[in-house]
Structure 1
Amino acid sequence: MRHSWTYAGASLAALAIAMPASAQEQGLQDIIVTAQRKAENLQDVPISVTALTADTLTSGGISDTTELQAASPGLVTFQTANNFSPFIRGVGTNQTASGSEASVALYIDGVYQGPKPGNVLDLGAIERIEVLKGPQGTLFGRNATGGAINIITKDPTATPEINAEFGYGRFDEKTARAYASGAISDTLSASVSFSGKWSDGYIRDVYRNKDQAPVESLNGMVKLKWTPSDRFTATLTGGYSYLDDATFMSAHAEPGTVSTAAGLGFLAPTGPREAATSAEDAISTVKTARATLNVNADLGPVDLVSITGYVHMDAYNFFDLDSSPANILHLSTGQLGRQFSQELQLQKNDGPFRWIAGLYYLRFRDGYDKFPRPYLLQQNLPFEFRPSDLVAGTVALARSAIVTTDTGSIFGQGTYDIAPSTRLTAGLRYSIEKKTVEGEQFAINGTPAPGAGVELDAGSGGPFGAVQNATVDLSKTFKKLTWRLALDHDFADGIMGYASYTRGFKSGSLNAGIISNAQVPVNPEVIDAFEVGLKSELFDRKLRLNIAAFYYDYKDIQVSLVTAGSTSVTENAAAARLYGLDIDLVAAPTSRLTIRGGINLLDSKYKKYESAALFLPRTAATCPSGAAAQVTLAQAKAIAALPQLGGNCTYRLDASGSDLIIAPKFTANAGFDYEMPVGDSRLTLSSSLYYNDGFDTAAGGIFAKVPSYETLTASLTWTGPDDRYFVRVWGRNLTNDIHPELILPLATTFQEVSSMPRSYGFTLGFRFGAR
């Protein structure tokens, strides 16, 4: 039954290709993208790109960045704690450590978004989203090793426009969105948008008998567009978002494992919608403010583009690392992200030689906050501990550490028409980055020394003593040259082929989780990507079919290591190779029916990864160390099959030859929109199916394997005359496929968070003015 949905989706795609062109009244519309930092037709860009319009997002039931994978096979929107960690074609990072950035770059209106917790975003007021597959190191620069997600928000319009919608669904989910736009003067237009979501959540604390992870999401944006002439435009955007969602902090023990708490006789639930904690609710709040200024000036022979961005993010987390009512291990963190960036471009967009050249600067501070909200690890202590709780056998360590990045780069890319139907593109980027980490660690004690009192959010018993036991103050400079070379050729009208060779890199780093000057710097990731592709529009533009095959040589891969003390740090993991195939299609066989589909096939292997971090169940009174903790995959599987005593031990695994983490071999989607006139109104039936073949979340996949799953969404929308009103009934995960969305191996337990079960509801809305 599971695979029948996949077969149905493939059959639907085949049906789209086979349907006669004569049934269609008009062809597919052009899609304009900025995948090469300028406006171009999607079919003219020699890059594999999935472009998603606002209507596509709506029909697919996609409301935030974590759901984008359903519309773009090859993209996995993985989330760990409150960190948004996308993977594209198996390239990404599951690191939660502050100071370690994503391997897939997220851009909003041309501005790189560094703080990972701030990138779980509601997708209101969106013009389109572009998922760029493969390294984008020349034009998008650092941390686009796997690709980039390019979000373009909706510009204000001079014509007045007001939209609003309100919804209600299962789990007491309430949603609201509003958008207004119009002219302030002949040269100035403005828009304002708001979106909100409130829900009880779907996870239950079975120990305290209450909902564990309610959700509140608030987002607002104001945008001003000034056009004093047809040769100058300046757009100023300001936005603020607040997210309170502890779903990924509300874990249960993975079925088939024995946690430390269970080994001691405590309740340790394993149900897909269950959690248990010894303290108050898990906490995960993120506050993010953004400001962007985009300036475009036509200087005659060239265009000048200036992009200025600022991001200010604060996050706070608390969660129970033993997933039980026992006071074994708690973690609370205050995270901050402060970012300023400036980019200047000169572009020439006509003639036989078209080019872009630019300068880029970024300053980014990312890390664990100072008192009263540091990184605080509590062993054998209650959540709100008092000085009197700090007795023998209890430990509280507080850490504050900030990683500062200063980076500058110079880049250029040009395209030359070497023949009427053939073009050569070449580009280079040279980047210099200086990384600095400064921090200190304290051991908290119950008797404050004179003047040494420290007030912590986690404590309610007055000031605590703090003894500084470690510091770090290190700097490291990284220099990298990246490039792109591509040749594309028009074989016929509407059929273009291309071949490309691209190098990308992810920034090197220093660890905010290691308070020591003896730490080893983390080297930059480097990826060499080879790709051939075909972009086509067939049957009088009733079918758009794009195909790409790729091969990656991937070196110095940055991976997350969770230590025995449950501290997340980053290390390099040698080398890997990946290859695969992407297929994207959109078909409009009739004026009423649109069909979308896509497939990603992927084969990935670590070529050399001899010392992967691994947690295995504790099967003896003491955990092995040294050479005894180095195991092969066969030995690890044998240990995992032994009787478990509770909790886990750390090992080092020779993972050479294993699949990369979060690299599913097969992902696919299929969807459609069908419109039916009803008098002067219409009904629209939409549905979207996503299939993922499963993946490992840790090297080797032992107690760290997400099985295959599928999700089906559908909606039926009645739209009134002149498109002014609509009523929509919708359903998400209609197959009720409940699967792990996160498996996190820790010393205390294998934590698992399961997906949301079937949900359903309705939305009411109205629209006036421009669309």
Structure 2
Amino acid sequence: MTFKLGSVALALLSSTAPAWAQVAEPPAETAETVRDSNEIIVLAQRRAERLQDVPISVTVQSGEQLETAGVDNLRDLGAVTPGLTFQAQGNFVQPALRGITTLVTGPGSDNPIALYIDGVYEGTQAGASIDLPDVERIEVSKGPQGTLFGRNSTGGAIQIFTKAPSFTPTGSISATAGLYDGAGPSRSSYDLGVKGYVSGPIIADKLAASLSFAYRNVDGYSTNIVYDRLPAAIQEAYGSDRMDWLKSVTLRGKLLFTPSENVSILLSGYYMHRKSDHGSAGLPVNGLTAGAFYPDAVFGTRPYQYAYDAPDPLTEIKNYGGALKIDIDTGAGTITSTTSYTLSRHREQVDVDASYSPQCLAAAPMTFACIAFADTQPNDNFLQDVLFTSEQMGRVKFVVGANFFSSNGDLSGVISDFSGGAEPGAPDVVYNPLLIATTRVKTRAFGIFAQADIDLTEQLTLTAGLRYSYEKKKGYISFFGSPLDNFANPSWDSFTPRVGLRYALDGRSNIYATFSKGFKSGILPILTVGDPVNPEKVTAYEVGYKTAQPGYTLNLAAFFYDYKDLQIQSFTGTTIIPTNAASARIFGFEFDGTADLGSSLTARAGVSWMPKADFRSFPNAAGYQPIITAGGLPSVVADVSGQRLVRAPKVSAVASVTYTGRVGNGDLTITPSVHYSSKYLPYDAFDLLVQGAYARVAGEIAYKPDDSGLRIALWVRNLTNAQSFSSTTISAGAARATYEEPREFGITVGYDF
């Protein structure tokens, strides 16, 4: 299987079979197989089941589909999944699913969309910026997954399954050359990458290994508009006025040991290093920056234009770790033990006001408006998960398990350390740091759970499950190098049930209704002392219909959420202050399906429509006014009850059509596609930043000769050059945004062996 590098584009189908029929076979440890070309096996309920039998809304993307779509990083996944919106704050990646998201950053403030990589929970937001060189498939389960997946899954769960080692020699390699064409306010830039995967036996039928790698280098499609006015020495240190550059490398290795037919042991390790200024550089939207108060201010007025005085924007992420997974087939069921240890090391440098104004910078000790923020964020996670998945026992099958999660995370921040001069904006501005602080959060979480499927009749199945979760957090803080002081020791517990009924209309179609609850852990303030914030809780109701016929698939769902104690963040520029909003209500409808339109055409479409996703009660929301003062944007507290939730577009949709035909001695595929989103609020409920409606159009033309592993693809992404936000932050310093990648053309050449 070959892969491509580059920005996101939706292009899902690459053969005459319907799109989801191309999902890769289930992992080696599952024995079930796909019965026909439209049946897909998923692990959404932590056991191998046909997609149409799972009473959960699940979107599945195979590695081949992701390759065709150009999805090479998790942040791109929103363009191929209706209802999923990916946003970020710098290097904090924050997905939103059906209107459920988080704005809270820092250690101990995980996403409400739980992320699992080969069964290992990723407990940090910065760690969610994951490159995807060796993906077998990705499953996005929508709605609370509080019973089987537990903590921090109020909105859903994203499971990434990477390729397992093979006892048959196999491999692939691909190289990509892309060109951002400089459309609109962006500039031309190269985008180069290479990916590879190799696997084979070390000892026949006993020991196999695999290794995957990926490298990407983007020159930079944005511009530092004040570069020419900087001193020559600073220009030389920067090397270029290019911005939105990227350098990324990923490595993953696995060893599979099968000492007997009933036992498999999988040892895996990975390393990722991603370095960029994307997300840390920002544009003050509509000129909303503290720098605008001062006559010497320069700031970007169009997307892909940045100005800053200090420091040089930077985001750097290093993730590495390992896992040991043991599967034992007992005959009555399978015992699975997963033990993992992961380390994340992140740092960023941000010019909070997103402007170049030496005068404002000099005034910062009095105004705290034009400030520079630098932080480091080390985080270590340990997970132990034990699961028993039964075989069918008469009318019953069940899953029971327990897990323990331990996390130690720091955020050490320095505000405006200009003791040696505020290069590049104001070398004569010299003052000591305005703030040096470290927040440390220690998390210990336990969970026990069980879920059973009971066949009441041959057609009617009852699903019932329950989890008990207990969380303990300890918060520590230090100012200006003082010893860490313990300021909070909260604990919480929760019962999260799931009850559902599924009725089989025939062997290929089901209708279902479910009731479930989700629990997102409480959090602590960052870089300040404050009270703990209570957990979020979601009660969800969903009804749906699923069918997988020889010529088409169809999935329909309607959902209603009662969302309580929403965790909302206010960022002052120096501290992160979380609070609980009162409550919200969400309801909506989803559709997705595939169709075989004939011998040469297939199509896929998906739509998410949420007519209501509003704060039911939020009388004391904190935000900022669109007024420029010497101290930046003035704060305001207002009642936003009835206002739309953030990152909750009313409509999001994906669609694609694939033509497949014979040309010479090979297959030619042509796949145009589109991803649409209606407008939404990306950060808060005060309308300072509004993401307008947009459509991103993509396409691929690929040729694969017969009896050859060669594949050549020409592609375009964001053909419409849509300008949508990828990262947003609002503070007293600025309403700051970074944009998704502009239009790009490219070629990918791959070879399977």
Give the superposition deviation at 1:43: 0.9
Cα distance in 2 for residues equivalent to 1:762 and 1:114: 35
Cα distance in 2 for residues equivalent to 1:572 and 1:379: 33
- Report the equivalent of 2:74: 65
- Report the equivalent of 2:62: 53
The correspondence for 2:579, drawn from 554, 563, 571, is 571
1:507 and 2:482 are equivalent in the alignment: no
The correspondence for 2:222, drawn from 167, 178, 203, is 203
Q: Deviations over 1:193-217 (max 9, x none)?
A: 0001001122211101501231001
More divergent stretch after superposition (306-315 vs 592-601): 592-601
Query: For residues 23-42 of structure 1, what are the structure 2 equivalents within 5 Å?
Result: 28-42=37-51
SS in 1 for 2:308: coil
Cα distance in 2 for residues equivalent to 1:569 and 1:185: 55
Query: For residues 117-196 of structure 1, what are the structure 2 equivalents within 5 Å?
Result: 117-170=126-179, 171-186=189-204, 187-196=206-215
Query: For residues 598-747 of structure 1, what are the structure 2 equivalents within 5 Å?
Result: 598-602=606-610, 603-618=612-627, 647-747=632-732
Instruction: State the AA in 2 paired with 1:402.
Output: R
Task: Report if the CA contact (8 A) 1:566-1:747 is conserved.
Answer: no
Cα distance in 1 for residues equivalent to 2:688 and 2:499: 42
The correspondence for 1:330, drawn from 359, 372, 380, is 372
Instruction: State the AA in 2 paired with 1:504.
Output: G
Task: Report if the CA contact (8 A) 2:289-2:733 is conserved.
Answer: no
- Report the equivalent of 1:74: 83
- Report the equivalent of 1:415: 453
Instruction: State the AA in 2 paired with 1:759.
Output: E
- Report the equivalent of 1:522: 533
Give the superposition deviation at 1:224: 1.1
Cα distance in 2 for residues equivalent to 1:80 and 1:195: 25
Task: Report if the CA contact (8 A) 2:107-2:379 is conserved.
Answer: no
Task: Report if the CA contact (8 A) 1:88-1:133 is conserved.
Answer: yes
- Report the equivalent of 1:343: 385
Query: For residues 472-491 of structure 1, what are the structure 2 equivalents within 5 Å?
Result: 472-491=486-505
Cα distance in 2 for residues equivalent to 1:713 and 1:95: 33
SS in 1 for 2:110: coil
Give the superposition deviation at 1:359: 1.0
Query: For residues 1-20 of structure 1, what are the structure 2 equivalents within 5 Å?
Result: none
SS in 2 for 1:310: strand
- Report the equivalent of 2:25: none
Q: Give the fraction of aligned pairs with identical amino acids, expressed as a percent.
A: 32
Cα distance in 2 for residues equivalent to 1:585 and 1:63: 24
Cα distance in 1 for residues equivalent to 2:590 and 2:165: 35
Query: For residues 186-335 of structure 1, what are the structure 2 equivalents within 5 Å?
Result: 186=204, 187-209=206-228, 210-255=241-286, 257=288, 259-279=290-310, 281-326=312-357, 327=361, 328-335=370-377
Give the superposition deviation at 1:718: 1.3
1:497 and 2:511 are equivalent in the alignment: yes
Q: Deviations over 1:154-195 (max 9, x none)?
A: 111111112101111112110100110111112111110000
Task: Report if the CA contact (8 A) 1:212-1:282 is conserved.
Answer: no
User: Quick one: higher RCO (CA 8 Å, sep 6+), 1 or 2?
Assistant: 2
- Report the equivalent of 1:632: none
Q: Deviations over 1:479-516 (max 9, x none)?
A: 111010010001233210000000001001222332x3
Cα distance in 2 for residues equivalent to 1:472 and 1:270: 44
Task: Report if the CA contact (8 A) 2:273-2:319 is conserved.
Answer: yes
- Report the equivalent of 2:29: none
More divergent stretch after superposition (471-480 vs 497-506): 471-480
Cα distance in 2 for residues equivalent to 1:537 and 1:302: 28
How many residues align structurally?
685
Task: Report if the CA contact (8 A) 2:291-2:356 is conserved.
Answer: no
Cα distance in 2 for residues equivalent to 1:226 and 1:195: 25
Instruction: State the AA in 2 paired with 1:738.
Output: Q
SS in 2 for 1:260: helix
Query: For residues 347-386 of structure 1, what are the structure 2 equivalents within 5 Å?
Result: 347-351=389-393, 352-368=395-411, 374-378=412-416, 382-383=421-422
Relative to structure 1, the CA distance from residue 337 to residue 646 in structure 2 (aligned partners, 3 Å threshold; closer, same or farther) is closer
TM (norm. structure 1) is: 0.86
SS in 2 for 1:695: coil
Relative to structure 1, the CA distance from residue 743 to residue 119 in structure 2 (aligned partners, 3 Å threshold; closer, same or farther) is closer
Task: Report if the CA contact (8 A) 1:224-1:237 is conserved.
Answer: yes
TM (norm. structure 2) is: 0.88
Cα distance in 2 for residues equivalent to 1:505 and 1:671: 36
Structure 2 residues without counterparts, runs of 5 or longer: 1-10, 12-17, 20-34, 180-188, 229-240, 362-369
Task: Report if the CA contact (8 A) 2:144-2:154 is conserved.
Answer: yes
- Report the equivalent of 1:450: none
Give the superposition deviation at 1:262: 4.8
Task: Report if the CA contact (8 A) 1:124-1:195 is conserved.
Answer: yes
Structure 1 residues without counterparts, runs of 5 or longer: 1-8, 10-15, 18-25, 369-373, 443-465, 622-644
SS in 2 for 1:419: coil
Give the superposition deviation at 1:379: 7.6
SS in 1 for 2:288: coil
Misfit runs of 4+, over 6 Å: 388-392
Relative to structure 1, the CA distance from residue 272 to residue 88 in structure 2 (aligned partners, 3 Å threshold; closer, same or farther) is same
Give the superposition deviation at 1:140: 0.4
Cα distance in 2 for residues equivalent to 1:136 and 1:264: 53
SS in 2 for 1:93: coil
Give the superposition deviation at 1:258: 5.1
Instruction: State the AA in 2 paired with 1:345.
Output: L
RMSD, matched Cα: 2.2
Cα distance in 2 for residues equivalent to 1:599 and 1:111: 30
Instruction: State the AA in 2 paired with 1:235.
Output: L
Q: Deviations over 1:86-124 (max 9, x none)?
A: 110000112223321111100001111011111111111
Q: Deviations over 1:450-490 (max 9, x none)?
A: xxxxxxxxxxxxxxxx6x49944321111111010010001
Relative to structure 1, the CA distance from residue 280 to residue 439 in structure 2 (aligned partners, 3 Å threshold; closer, same or farther) is closer
Cα distance in 2 for residues equivalent to 1:220 and 1:698: 33
Q: Deviations over 1:509-561 (max 9, x none)?
A: 222332x3xx21110100000000000123xx211000010000000011111
Give the superposition deviation at 1:389: 7.8
SS in 1 for 2:641: coil
- Report the equivalent of 1:758: 743
Q: Deviations over 1:266-288 (max 9, x none)?
A: 11222101001113531110000
Q: Deviations over 1:691-728 (max 9, x none)?
A: 00021124434222111111111111111222411211
Task: Report if the CA contact (8 A) 1:31-1:42 is conserved.
Answer: yes
Give the superposition deviation at 1:261: 4.0
Relative to structure 1, the CA distance from residue 265 to residue 405 in structure 2 (aligned partners, 3 Å threshold; closer, same or farther) is same
SS in 2 for 1:522: coil
Instruction: State the AA in 1 paired with 2:534.
Output: N
Cα distance in 2 for residues equivalent to 1:425 and 1:350: 14
Q: Deviations over 1:44-85 (max 9, x none)?
A: 101000011011112222111111111111001111110111
SS in 2 for 1:296: strand
